[in-house]
Amino acid sequence: MNGEVIFCPKWHRAFWFLLFAVPCFLHAGEAEITCRSCQPGSKWRGKELLLKFHTSESATGFRGQVFGNSERRFGAASAETPRLSCAVGSAECARARVEYPETSLKRNTRDLRAKGELGQSEFTQMKVSNVSTSGQKKNGRVEGVRRRARRNSHGDKLGSPRSAQNQDRGEATGTVAGRRVTRSELRWSGEERRAAGPRQEELKLNSSTFALTGDSSHNQAMVHWSGQNSSVILMLTKLFDFNLNSVTESSLWRSTDYGATYQKLNDKVGAKTILSYLYVSPNNKRKIMLLTDPEVESSLLISSDEGATYQKYRLNFYILSLLFHPEQEDWILAYSHDQKLYSSVEFGRRWQLVHERVAPNRFYWSKMGLDKEPGLIHLETSITEGQALYVTCKLQNCTDANKGKPFPGYIDPNSLVVQDEYVFVQVSAGGRPIYYVSAKRDVFTPMKLPKYTLPKDLHVISTDENRVVAAVREWNQNETYNLYVSDTSGVYYTLALENVVSSMGPEGNVMVDLYEVAGIKGMFLANKRTDNQVKTYITYNRGRDWRLLQAPSKDLRGNSIHCVLPYCSLHLHLHVSANPYTSGNIASRDSAPGIIVASGSIGAELTTSNVSVFITSDAGNTWRQIFDEEYAVLYLDQGGALVAIRHTPLPIRHLWLSFDEGRQWNKYSFTNTPLFVDGVLGEPGEETLIMTIFGHVSHRSEWQLVKIDFRSIFNRRCIEADYQTWHLHNQGEPCLMGVKRIYRKLKPTSRCVMGKTYSVTMTSAPCDCTEADFECDYGFERRTDGKCTPAFWFHPSSMSRSCTTGMTFLNSTGYRKVVSNNCTAGVSAEYTARRQQCPIQAPKGLHLVTSEGSLTAVLGTNVTFLVFLEEGDGARTSITLDFGDGHALTYSNVSSIEDGIKHIYKAVGIYRVTATGENSLGSETAMLYLHVTCQLEYIHLSAPFVAVRNKEVNLTAVLWPSQVGTVTYIWWIGNNTEQPVITLEGSVAYTFSREGINTVTVQVSAGNTILQDRKTIAVHEYFRSHLLAFSSNLDEHNPDIAEWRLDVSRVIKNSLIQATGVREDQLLVTVLPGLPTAAEFFLLPDKQITEGKPEKSSAHLDQLSELLLSALNQNLVQFTLRPGVQVTVYAAHLSAAPLVDTSENHSGSAMLMLLSVVVVGLAVFVIYKFKRKIPGLNVYAQMQNEKEQEMSPANPTVATPSSQQDLVHSLEILDTEFNSRPIGCMKPHVHVKFSTELPTYIV
């Protein structure tokens, strides 16, 4: 049963409570589904309280908060709504200790000077994740979340001067941290004076105090109160070192008398054992689990007798979160730090690996009545960075053979939510998210929002009552959300409320200001932004109609309040604001229908100043002001009494009690010594009559636990005469949600104990249906006169698309009854959808997509095509799918292809895929163009290393594999580094107009891969080149790698210079790749000798050429490769490039010959590269999924040599080697060996 916790911020040492009321996590990314629906918590929920203090100097107040079993808050999880819980089995609710640090509210107490109007409070709210649930029914993930508070060892600053002014004289004496408290600061508030009246004997409560001796240094605590008629309380205190980010000390305390006394159990768990977390079985409160700090040891301690004795078990993994089974008390799922999911069917005594690569907080237990097996697990597993799969598997046998894949294809990461009878996933296609829903574990269907909603972000709010409430941030919204409600299938959505306020939580989560009132079905409160003003609205019929709240007619002092609707109304705080000093609280209970306590303000809009506390006893029809400053309010005796504790940083010893629904308050003392109050823990259950106040009497004292027993203030038990009937209404209208409801409530004048046996009694009678009982159906919009008419984009006939000839369908009237509305007769026949015969019609609205929503596919992999038909007789409409590669399939009807059509393409290309739906009345065709690609492994730029000035050369990018699909080439040539040339062809022609060194860079873009290569070209007016051959012994020592060729090129060049006396700057040498070993040398003219004249250059080059050829023919050019290996260099018979003269006297035929020779040279290179058998280089083509070889983008500003002297250094770095790697898109048995380089020339 759920205990009650009050958060008491703004109290002296920044102790604060953060109640982790099953928050939901997952990084709410853009256009991601998030579920923040919070279901009423189950009776098993134990009370855990985590007290913390932090040493930061920030001075932030934290408003006290009220908790209860049926309180529901959307967009705010933790502090305000312990009953807001995730779906059955939801993993979102378990806070990962490492991934999600606790929200901290900090205060420095070294200087207690007043600091202006310090913020009043801050709520912790519901954590939201991508398609995630923030509520959880009958499920144990809540034990993985903790309620925490912190205290600051430096002391506290005053939260507000007003707080000090209202401090009781007896509770703040002398000085506080060196500053004297003035008389004005000790002035009572108005309600204190009225309640106190003339001096009289002080009212006292029955209480006892216990000090946790030896734990004065501990700054965290976790508290569990079993409830269920149990008197056992467990408390784990810890010293958390924020520098080390770990627990360094811990103590375990146990009470068996409702907290009057505690026993320290360190010896029972191990004197040196450091405990970090406490868990309780949701189905058996006697079963306790303690986790040790993994920095010291990884183990857990298990108790089956409410913590009296323990057994220790070692763990081989680090638990981040736990998920208990909703029915089986010993079944647990554990999520580890390395994304592995483990299971235990023995309450943690033994663990078994379920699955690896599981997404955080995306695992769920099955639900009885919906899933086939109780031990079934729903989980999301990560495939790649942008892809995930939704799979189901058995608890003890999660093998590939036993896995189910309910959704065909990949889903977006962190998008799976299993919530009640619904399952949600998200798939992004074309930059837009597509949201899918499955109801009752049926097939997935795209969620139908109004056509032009175009959501940027979507959060599932709730899924109870067989419908979905979703908050959608549309394309034109930035800070607000629109609320949409669905039909029972969860597919069709209509607008409920626009521009609901949202905010970012302390951990980056999105929170929407929507609060469901406990105890009254269909009643919600929401904050809406209108004309840049935030106003609070209320609905009694699940969002069908909304209105403003009528402000109280009188203030706390009895003065009249002039507040006229719609210009002035009451506004309530429902969420955490972006301003850390702004907050509010709100509370309601199932056991106290109609009573709501909330903080807010009166005026034209919701403000953060002049915040008061208000109460309503008639479900929001009228409100009363009960405090004009910050108070925390706790329900006692199932709502029969209320307790209020003032927020103040000063020590107190009084609290306030009301027995008449907040009309009159009496002050009681709960301790003789004023106490800095850190927080309040109430007895689990709605019948709370015992609570414990946590605090301390000085800066460094032990924690004081004050047990208060309220039973002594009641003198009798309630009898029938103490109750009265109360008629629920909305401004006089008794018919709400189609019924008249009459509740049995305690009279405000009765002061008696209702006790644990009390239960809410409600009688109801149906009402005749009116137009107010119906909301607009999908595709219809409400006009200003209240009528629902079709939207401009909607065709009502499309609603019959699932019809089969001979059957009937419900033809919408534009209205649908509000979910859970129980009205009868009246206008029901007029507004209810009418059953009609399914029309016979030709197929219309045929859609063809891939399961991944992509227009690309990888060669050799399965491609799944999905075909949807909007209108037409699906059972009699045949579907033909032509894959565009010569294959086609025909199916007799649409239902036979619900799981998709799979196909494998065997060649790269662009395929036109066509789907045709046809029946006797006509046909419809849908088409898409699918790009089948292969992974680009690497590229090589083929270019001459020496080119003739003003003569066109060919630059070619060689790809491997050669066929990879659609490819874009980006070229940076020469000094033109700012404007690249973009082509779809892998070859370009270019003319260099200047002599010198030019750099060519090419990038190839194929799919998501961009690879690059770069070459340097020496441009000259004239040159001669000759091929070289070698003695056969060189081949025996040629490993055919770039470094070897570079070194041998230098040796050959030095040998030629030594034998002929040619100047070094006139000679270029390169060893060609492949076998047999070959090389080429280039002769460049000396411009000082030739004076740039063609005839002199020609003669000069002829002389040099004859000189070198003579030496080669005489075997004068030799070098020693290694001891005993003498290599002779010969002149080959073929010259790779004749003398070129670009003067006008030369004919065009010579130019054609030059180009022909260049082409032949390139052909020879390709042959060398791809066809020659080269020992020592093993590059095999294999069908493997390897990471693409990505290179850094081109730098278009690379400096290039400007003179012939720079040529040596530039050409030395040209000969680079590609890494050997498996090559995709080829059959496994094909082994290809080839060279990976072009020649490198040495000068």
Burial of 731 (0-12, 13-18, 19+ CB in 10 A): exposed
pLDDT of residue 728 exceeding 50, the answer is yes
By the 8 A CB rule, do 766 and 824 touch?
A: yes
3-state secondary structure of 830: helix
Q: How far is CA 556 from the centre of its chain?
A: 45
Q: What is the pLDDT of residue 800?
A: 57
Rounded to an integer, the average pLDDT of 376-401 is 89
Which are the contacts of 63, defined by CB distance < 8 A and separation ≥ 6?
Answer: 7, 9, 10, 120, 121, 122, 123, 583, 584, 585, 599, 630, 632, 647
Neighbours of 1063 (CB within 10 A): 11
pLDDT of residue 412 exceeding 70, the answer is yes
pLDDT of residue 425 exceeding 90, the answer is yes
Separation CA 153–CA 150 (nearest Å): 10
| Angstrom distances, CA of residue 928 to CA of 853, 855, 868, 884, 913 | 11, 8, 14, 10, 5
Reported as type and span, the H/E element at residue 1094 is: helix 1094-1113
Burial 1197-1206 (b: 16+ CB within 10 A, else e): eeebbeebeb
Separation CA 744–CA 928 (nearest Å): 64
The token duo for 1109 is: 């050829």
The token duo for 421 is: 């009878």
Separation CA 545–CA 821 (nearest Å): 14
Q: What is the pLDDT of residue 401?
A: 82
Reported as type and span, the H/E element at residue 1069 is: strand 1067-1072
- For 670-731, the DSSP string reads --SS-BEEEEEEEPSSTT--EEEEEEESSTTPPPEEEEEEGGGG--SB--GGGEEEEE--BT
**Nearest alpha carbon to residue 129 among 97, 96, 104:** 96
Q: What is the pLDDT of residue 561?
A: 93
Residue 499 φ then ψ, to 5°: 55, 50
Q: Which residue did the predictor score with more confidence, 924 or 1142?
A: 924
Residue recorded with tokens 């034109």 = 476
Separation CA 168–CA 183 (nearest Å): 11
Neighbours of 1167 (CB within 10 A): 12
Q: Which residue did the predictor score with more confidence, 173 or 351?
A: 351
Separation CA 361–CA 451 (nearest Å): 32
Residue 27 φ then ψ, to 5°: -60, 110
Q: What is the pLDDT of residue 526?
A: 94
**Nearest alpha carbon to residue 282 among 449, 93, 102:** 93
Q: What is the pLDDT of residue 312?
A: 92
Q: What share of the chain is helix, strand, coil (3-state, %, to 5)?
A: 10, 40, 50
- Name the average pLDDT for the chain: 74
In which order are the strands placed within the sheet that holds 1240-1242? Answer: 1118-1122, 1125-1131, 1024-1030, 1078-1083, 1067-1072, 1240-1242
Q: What is the C-alpha end-to-end distance of the chain, expressed in Å?
A: 87
Q: What is the pLDDT of residue 798?
A: 60
At 1147-1171, the pLDDT tens digits run 343 444 444 544 445 544 444 444 3
pLDDT of residue 1224 exceeding 70, the answer is no
At 926-977, the pLDDT tens digits run 999 999 988 888 888 888 878 888 899 999 999 988 888 889 999 998 876 6
The token duo for 101 is: 């640090």
By the 8 A CB rule, do 947 and 1018 touch?
A: yes
Q: Which stretch, 153-162, 582-591, 637-646, has highest mean pLDDT?
A: 637-646
pLDDT of residue 148 exceeding 90, the answer is no
> Of 136-150, 957-971, 1000-1014, which range is least confident?
136-150
Separation CA 1029–CA 1036 (nearest Å): 14
| Angstrom distances, CA of residue 1213 to CA of 511, 972, 1207 | 58, 19, 10
Rounded to an integer, the average pLDDT of 49-77 is 34
Rounded to an integer, the average pLDDT of 383-396 is 89
pLDDT of residue 195 exceeding 50, the answer is no
Separation CA 641–CA 625 (nearest Å): 17
Residue recorded with tokens 């058996």 = 284
pLDDT of residue 99 exceeding 70, the answer is no
Q: Which residue did the predictor score with more confidence, 217 or 413?
A: 413
Rounded to an integer, the average pLDDT of 16-40 is 33
Separation CA 593–CA 763 (nearest Å): 13
> Which is it for strands 856-858 and 922-933: parallel, antiparallel or unpaired?
parallel
**Nearest alpha carbon to residue 159 among 581, 645, 574, 577:** 581
pLDDT of residue 1228 exceeding 80, the answer is no
3-state secondary structure of 558: coil
Q: What is the pLDDT of residue 600?
A: 93
Give 121's pLDDT tier (boundaries 50, 70, 90): very low
Rounded to an integer, the average pLDDT of 244-260 is 88
**Nearest alpha carbon to residue 576 among 78, 124, 19, 17:** 124
At 770-820, the pLDDT tens digits run 999 999 999 999 988 889 999 998 877 665 555 666 677 788 888 999 988
Neighbours of 88 (CB within 10 A): 26
Task: Report the DSSP beta bridge partners of residue 529.
Answer: 534
pLDDT of residue 57 exceeding 80, the answer is no
Q: What is the pLDDT of residue 432?
A: 85
pLDDT of residue 851 exceeding 70, the answer is yes
**Nearest alpha carbon to residue 1093 among 1142, 1152, 1024, 1026:** 1142
At 314-332, the pLDDT tens digits run 999 989 889 999 889 999 9
Separation CA 127–CA 503 (nearest Å): 11
Task: Tell me the angle at which helices 1042-1060 and 1094-1113 cross, rounded to the nearest 10 degrees.
Answer: 100
By the 8 A CB rule, do 936 and 1188 touch?
A: yes
The token duo for 482 is: 């629109």
* Angle ∠(701,705,710) on CA atoms, nearest 5: 150
Q: How far is CA 607 from the centre of its chain?
A: 31
Q: Which residue did the predictor score with more confidence, 503 or 612?
A: 612
Size of the chain, expressed as the number of residues it contains: 1243
Give 921's pLDDT tier (boundaries 50, 70, 90): confident
Separation CA 321–CA 1123 (nearest Å): 69
Q: What is the pLDDT of residue 801?
A: 54
Reported as type and span, the H/E element at residue 1107 is: helix 1094-1113
At 471-523, the pLDDT tens digits run 999 988 888 999 999 998 999 999 999 999 988 766 667 788 899 998 898 89
Q: Which residue did the predictor score with more confidence, 3 or 902?
A: 902
| Residue 11, amino acid | W
By the 8 A CB rule, do 209 and 705 touch?
A: yes
The token duo for 324 is: 């208990």
Provide, rounded to the nearest whole percent, the portion of the chain with pLDDT above 90: 33
Separation CA 372–CA 564 (nearest Å): 57
Torsion over CA: 424, 429, 433, 435 (sign): negative
Taking phi over 0 as left and psi of -120 to 50 as alpha, with beta for the rest, 263 belongs to beta
**Nearest alpha carbon to residue 741 among 706, 719, 765, 714:** 765
Provide, rounded to the nearest whole percent, the portion of the chain with pLDDT above 70: 72
The token duo for 653 is: 């010893």
| Angstrom distances, CA of residue 499 to CA of 379, 582, 771 | 33, 20, 25
Q: What is the pLDDT of residue 1162?
A: 55
Q: Which residue did the predictor score with more confidence, 108 or 679?
A: 679
**Nearest alpha carbon to residue 775 among 496, 499, 528:** 496
Torsion over CA: 401, 406, 411, 416 (sign): negative
